[in-house]
Amino acid sequence: MDHILSVLVFFPAIAGLLGFVVSKESIRAYGLSVAAIEFLLSLWLWLSFDGSYPGFQFVEVLPLIPSFGINYYLGVDGISLFIVVLSTFITLIGLIALNVEKDLKNMIISLLFLEMTMVGVFVALDAIVFYVFWELSLVPMLYIIGAWGGNLRIYAAIKFFLYTFAGSLIMLVGMLVMAYLYYQATGVWSFSITEWHRLILPENYQIWLFVAFFIGLAIKVPMFPFHTWLPYAHGQAPTIGSVILAAVLLKMGTYGLVRLPLPMFPDASVYMIYPVAILSLIMIIYTAMVAYAQEDMKQVIAYSSISHMGVIVLGTFAMNPEGIAGSVFFMLSHGIVSGALFMLVGVIYDRRHTKLMSEFGGLAHVMPRYGTIMGIMVMASVGLPLTMSFVGEFLSLAGFYQVSHTMTILAGTSIILGAVYMLSLYKKSFFGEVTKEENKNLKDLNGKESMALWTLVLVTVWLGVYPKPVLEPINTSVESLVSFMHKKAITKEAKEVIKPKVIEREAE
């Protein structure tokens, strides 16, 4: 177990390199085997994790450039653990349901390299190592969209790359400034994120650095007004690309908010609560309305993803354990539910080569198993109780309610608006009579599609009914984080807003 994180990071990449010598006939089985082993390793990590300990576990440190304090520094806590498990789980499920025939070997190798970068981002505790994995994740996704996407795939791929790369450069400037300020304060260079957490900066420095980090992370989320790359990327990406993009890659941005600016700049984070909340509300309401106006099923789900990510950001900036723990859990539930929805759209696209709702109607009669799973996931997407989404959304909004009643009520419209556009999609596509001849003989879900989708349904319901195994370790680390932010804050206003449960218990 000493190097379990290194194995999790590099095993998919090494297997991907070996994949070049695997025959085309065997590559699907090979890719599935690699993804299954990686998922089992992540489950082993979860089982070996001490959920009662709030700090980082399975820590690995290896000097890379000692003179500048750059180290190969890995570790997981309750916040990052389950996002690592989500990354390996979604990769496995995506490969099970993969229907690509064109250049299958290149697709599977690209997915394995992408898995390496995703896991690397979530376990890296050195800023440079974090940044390297962050940037490397762009390459396989750029290739997946550009090589297997739709008619506008090149435009979508380049737009995705330019937006996220530009934001990353701004974040890199912030990282370099942070390292210099740490050097000025201590006399030694360090890019350790955990050491940066302990550095106390004046509020004006915090605000400028917060903005630099926030822009890079907000583009990845993507927050308004940086969100325009996402509908193009989803619309043109192949199904597996959309699944991983929505389920995992977007979470890099929200995870980064929790890991970087909040503990590093607690005073600036409190200072920026309302500007960030306003942007989040625009995301939630505006993109929900845009989703309702779409005719393309995939675009409806793409815009709904942006709306739900707005709730996650709102919960993150609640500055209390309920909101932040809820936002982390909502990252997981959004990953499962949005991944399933994109997979379901991919199923019907493979059969009809269209995603327009006007081309369907009455699918529940023709494809009852497909209609059942779509119905469950639509309900999960709108936050039906006893599904994962309800737990994350409720806690996120309950946390922010302590900050602003009015803004939380406005954000709560996401539940109503979500029900409007998702139920409208379901009604147009699945109810009524089958009016198109092409739809009368459509095949229902095959074995591998059923296996992948029913697995996602089971996880959605299981963690909706009984979220404790996941929520408890998350909450332990989040309570420690909020307590740390409260102690580090230098302004009276910040200390009043950041209210950890530890303080409340001591008062009792």
Residue scoring higher pLDDT (504 or 130) = 130
Q: Band the pLDDT of 435: cuts 50, 70, 90.
A: confident
Each residue of 192-206: pLDDT tens digit?
999 999 999 999 999
**Does residue 295 carry a pLDDT above 60?**
yes
Question: Residue 379 belongs to what domain range?
Answer: 272-465
pTM over 0.85? The answer is yes
Q: Does the residue 439 lie in any domain?
A: yes
371 sits in the region (left: phi over 0; alpha: psi -120 to 50; else beta) called: alpha
Instruction: Identify the pLDDT of residue 496.
Output: 86
Any domain includes 329 = yes
**Hey, which of 132-136, 143-147, 233-237 has the most confident mean pLDDT?**
132-136
CA atoms within 13 A on the CB side of 54: 13
In a domain, 242, yes or no: no
Q: Which residues contact 186 (CB under 8 A, 6 or more apart)?
A: none
ω before 222 within 30° of 0 (cis)?
Answer: yes
Neighbour-count burial for 61-73, b at 16+ CB within 10 Å, e otherwise: eeeeeeeebbbbb
pLDDT tens-digit readout, 207-220: 999 999 999 999 99
Q: Name the helix (H) or strand (E) containing 61.
A: strand 57-65
Q: How far is residue 434 from each of residues 294, 368, 386, 428, measured CA to CA in Å?
A: 21, 13, 32, 11
Average pLDDT over residues 228-238: 87
Helices (H) and strands (E) in the chain, counts: 26, 2
**Average pLDDT across the chain, whole number:** 91
The band of 1, judged by pLDDT with boundaries at 50, 70 and 90, is low
* Position 123 pLDDT exceeds 70: yes
Which residue is listed with tokens 């106006």?
293
Beta bridge partners of 70: 65
Print the SS3 string covering 460-483. Answer: HHHHHHCCHHHHHHHHHHHHHHHH
Number of domains forming the structure of the chain: 1
Grouping H, G, I as helix, E, B as strand and the rest as coil, residue 126 is strand
3 state SS of 507: helix
* Tokens standing for residue 192: 């350790």
Whether residue 436 contacts residue 362, with contact meaning beta carbons closer than 8 Å, is answered with no
Quote the CA–CA distance of 432 and 367 in Å, as a whole number. Answer: 13
The pairing of beta strand 57-65 with beta strand 70-76: antiparallel
Q: For residue 431, tell me if it sits in a domain.
A: yes
Residue 146 CB neighbours (<10 A): 19
Separation between Cα atoms, residue 297 and residue 48, nearest integer Å: 41
Q: Is the Cβ–Cβ distance between 148 and 104 less than 8 Å?
A: no
Token readout for 495 is: 């200390």
Q: Does residue 458 register a pLDDT over 90? A: yes
The larger pLDDT score, comparing residue 313 to residue 503, is at 313
CB atoms within 10 A of CB 465: 12
Count the neighbouring beta carbons within 10 Å of the beta carbon of residue 352. 16
Residue 371 lies in a domain: yes
* Lowest mean per-residue pLDDT among 3-7, 146-150, 345-349: 146-150
Residue 139 forms part of a structural domain: no
Distance CA 223, CA 215 (A): 9
Task: Calculate mean pLDDT across residues 225-236.
Answer: 87
The answer as to whether 444 is a domain residue is: yes
Residue 508: is its pLDDT beyond 50?
no
Residue 49 vs residues 44, 72, 108, 476, 503: alpha-carbon distances, Å: 8, 21, 30, 12, 26
Quick check: 35 and 91 in contact, CB under 8 A? yes
Instruction: Give the residue from 241, 180, 272 showing the smallest Cα distance to 493.
Output: 272
Identify the burial level of 211 via C-beta atoms within 10 angstroms of its C-beta, where 0-12 means exposed, 13-18 middle and 19 or more buried. middle
- The reported pLDDT for the residue numbered 378 is 94
Query: Contact at 8 Å (CB) between 205 and 217?
Result: no
Helix (H) or strand (E) holding 63: strand 57-65
pLDDT of 503 above 50: no
CA distance 424 to 430: 10
Quote the tokens at residue 198: 């302990």
HSE toward the beta carbon, residue 192, CA cutoff 13 A: 21
Whether the pLDDT of residue 361 is over 80: the answer is yes
User: Whose CA is closest to 395, among 458, 332, 461, 457?
Assistant: 332
| pLDDT above 70: residue 250 | yes
Q: What is the mean pLDDT of residues 115-133?
A: 95
Residue 350, in any domain of the structure: yes
pLDDT at position 502 over 50: no
User: Per-residue pLDDT for 504 more than 50?
Assistant: no
